[in-house]
Amino acid sequence: MPLDIIPSSTGVCIQLIPANNRTHVLLEGETVISTGNTAIRTGSADNIDVSIAGTVIGEFSGVSPESATGSGNSITVQSTGTVISNSFAALFIEGDISVMRNFGQVTSFSSPALTVGFGSNSLLV
């Protein structure tokens, strides 16, 4: 799978929408912030791998599909990674054969921090 390094970014809108069949990596020391939305929206992408070793902060969610469902996706928060949300789940994954792994810090100020939606063969580790 092609590799994309996620640069630091801050704004009111969604900061990253991953593409199908790609690996996206946020390195330690990098920060992605959305002050008015979800920071990383996985949407209906299929076969993506998002690895977070830096910091993701979202007003709504840190990482979320936001009502769209892809399949075969993986989200991993590394031991140096942090995901924070103010309004909804910090990490949300949905879709068939999807995996969410957390080895870092995940915080939501108003909802469960980690959420796995409907889908067959999905896993929270």
pLDDT band at residue 115, thresholds of 50, 70 and 90?
confident
Residue with more model confidence, 34 or 122: 34
Question: Tens digit of pLDDT for each residue in 39-78?
Answer: 999 888 889 999 999 999 999 999 998 666 778 889 999 9
What is the per-residue pLDDT for 83? 97
Distances (CA, A) of 53 to 26, 75, 81, 87, 120: 6, 11, 4, 22, 28
* pTM of the entire predicted model: 0.91
Q: Which residue shows structure tokens 């990482």? A: 63
